Amino acid sequence: MVSLKRIISDLRVFGRGYLRNIVGLFFGLIFPVILIVIFGMIFAPSSSGKITLYVQNQDGGQISNSFVNALNNTTTVEPVLISPQNFSQYLSAHSASDGLIIPSNFSADYVAGKQVNLILYGNPSQSSSAIVSGTVTALVNQFNLNYYHGTSVIGISQTTAQTHVTKYIDFLVPGLIGFSILVSPMFSLVNISSEYKRIKLFKQLSLTPLTKMEWLASKVLFYILLGVASFLLMVVVGVLAFSADVVLSVWLIPFLILGPMLFASLGMLVGTVSKNTETAAVVGNIISFPMMFLSGTFFPISLMPMYLRDFAHILPLYYIIEGLNAVMVYSNYAQATTDLIVVAIITVVFFAAAVRLFKWRED
Amino acid sequence: MIPVEVSSVKKYYGNIKAVDGVSFSVNEGEVFALLGPNGAGKTTLIEIMEGLRKRDDGIVKVLGLDPWKNGSTLHRRIGVIPQDFTFFDKATPREAVKYYADLFGVTVDVDKMLREVVLDDSARILFENLSGGQKQKMGLALSLVNSAELLFLDEPTTGLDPNARRAIWNVIRGLRSKGRTVILTTHYLDEAEQLSDRVAIMNHGLVVAMGTPEEIIETHGSGERLEIHGTEELANYLKTNTKLQVEYKGKDLISIVLSQEHDALATLTAIEESGFKWHDLHTKRDSLDDVFVKLVSGRIDEKGEVSLEDANNNSRNHERR
């Protein structure tokens, strides 16, 4: 018979021990928040998000000045004027790849209708160079059109695919919630299950009425509580500090319950089948690290090459993060239901395997 | 009911015979010590009785139950300090006792319990900061939580300082006076002698002697001896001129077995007749220690695996540990 009283009393001792351990607290609650702050700051959309373009204006005439002004008025490029000197040396000295030279006869030739070429420096492997090139080409076309007093026939009116624009932080919050759902229970259970086996603490506990099922249930319960605390903390930081736009719904509850249960069971399995603490740590890392980076934790999975996207489908965390995204970002509950079913099946399998393979005592 | 009955129990690990056919029973209210060097099979045997290990052969009944099959029923009725007792690093003795009480579903006076094992002054210190002796006392407190009728204490004082050992001894004596049955393993002879009603000496998975310490000394000891300081020549003189069992032990020490009452008188007369010088005459009887060393190294000698000297070194090493 499973006794709730024993589960609670084990939970109390374990939880108190956890809160007294600064390392556990750091990785459980503080580390995910630090990640959200760091990544949030790195990828925050900023007003000066333009690409710097070094411009050497050898002409200085009216037309060249208005070309530079036009560049300045774009949303993508910020021209920085530099004095006459060796241009390519200047660029490499400033570790810059994007530059533009306006030749000395630019204004006069333009007025005279004589062919004149701008010299554009760029690095084909960098996306910033492509943006610069596109912007400069568009301006050149506009100036050519103006020369003949022409007007555009085809125009573009821009809009976005979603009802609201999703920002990086909107993906980061569910991603890092998934991250903390994985990291705390997984690493902790890998460690304690192999360590308790080593110091024979399981054997000792087997001499009490506590059952292994109750012991595991109390750990799962603890990591659900920790997961919820970490979830609230991350949502608050994401919303207040980075204006994350996330939907909070009851749909999140099953993910926050099943997630820690899944990874606590997986950690338990790894610790149980590994011969010693060192092997357990290595196996735990081999399983956790690919999952940590390839499940859409730090960036949307759509940015990855196709074969990695296929690979991600075998990672349990993928379904948790996809489900969290479906609820928090897209409010797509059909998708969330599919993910939830997958997560529930994996969880049941892992939990049952952990309870079955994990032994209190030896033969 | 006889609390513990063990009959022809065997446990092999590959070629290693950890327990090789052991039989004994422990009576109610008795303190029974399993004595032996490390590797003798004490812990394997005690873990089989606790239901932590499966035996390969034989019959074990603990409180009338098969410990392996009825482990969870049995565990509610026994108290255990495992060898190298350990606990959660970040819990205090007070929390540990409360935790065990909750698990066993009993109400205990935590303070009284900690006072009983002389741990009340460290009740709020985290386990990781307790000394070795304090940790063992905490283990003892936990084994008492469920007021078990039978207690298994596996090397409860190993590595402890004399004060801590004495504190634990007092608790064990208290248990005995309350009529509890205690099975204790130890490799300290004085501990077995001080605490137990009966002792079983184990070596290489076998019980090589069993009974009260007096009975063991009587059965396996070499009886009363006369020891005298004198030269090897004197020893040889006694060997040639008397029917006494004489042994020259080196360093001017001669030992004579006193098997009959007049042997002492015969010895003194012969010494006087020899004209050799002598001094420091006294009689000696084997202690449990002497018998233990003899039994343990004897077995090794019989199998011809280890020399007598190695065996003595081994038993000394075990003493130190």
Task: Tell me the C-alpha distance between A18 and A132, whole Å.
Answer: 53
> Which has more pLDDT, A155 or B224?
B224
Cα torsion at B148, B152, B158, B163 (round to 10°)? 30
Burial of B304 (0-12, 13-18, 19+ CB in 10 A): exposed
Cross-chain Cβ contact B52/A203 below 8 Å:
yes
Residues in chain A closer than 8 A to B105 (CB atoms)? 5, 209
Task: Tell me the C-alpha distance between B204 and B10, whole Å.
Answer: 12
Predicted ipTM beyond 0.90:
no
CA B209 to chain centre: 12
What average pLDDT score do residues A176-197 get? 92
pLDDT score recorded for residue B111: 95
For residue A75 the two structure tokens come to 């949303």
- B85 interfaces chain A, CB cutoff of 8 Å: yes
- The nearest CA of chain B is from the CA of A188 a distance in Å of 14
Q: Which residue of A has its CA nearest to B73?
A: A209
Backbone angles phi, psi at A5, to 5 degrees: -65, -45
As a whole-number percent, the residues of chain A with pLDDT over 70 amount to 95
pLDDT score recorded for residue A165: 64
Task: Tell me the C-alpha distance between B103 and B83, whole Å.
Answer: 21
What is the CB neighbour count within 10 angstroms for residue A65?
15
Backbone angles phi, psi at A135, to 5 degrees: -65, -45
Beta partners for residue A101, in sequence order: A56, A119
> Which has more pLDDT, B304 or B10?
B10
Per-residue pLDDT tens for B38-85? 888 999 999 999 999 999 999 999 999 999 999 889 999 999 998 889
pLDDT score recorded for residue A166: 74
Task: Tell me the C-alpha distance between A208 and B51, whole Å.
Answer: 12
Task: Tell me the C-alpha distance between B73 and B55, whole Å.
Answer: 18
Rounded to the nearest 5 degrees, what angle is found at the Cα of A70, between the Cα atoms of A64 and A71? 95
- The nearest CA of chain A is from the CA of B221 a distance in Å of 39
What average pLDDT score do residues A155-168 get? 65
Per-residue pLDDT tens for A27-75? 888 998 999 899 888 877 654 567 889 999 988 888 999 999 998 888 8
Give the Å distances, CA to CA, from B14 to A200, B17, B313.
22, 8, 27
What average pLDDT score do residues B288-305 get? 59
Closest Cβ opposite residue B82 in set A10, A204, A211: A204
pLDDT score recorded for residue A251: 94
For residue A176 the two structure tokens come to 């890092």
In this predicted structure, which of A39-53, B199-213, B216-230 has the lowest mean pLDDT?
Answer: A39-53
> Which has more pLDDT, B114 or A146?
B114
Residue with tokens 């008492």: B144
- B107 interfaces chain A, CB cutoff of 8 Å: no
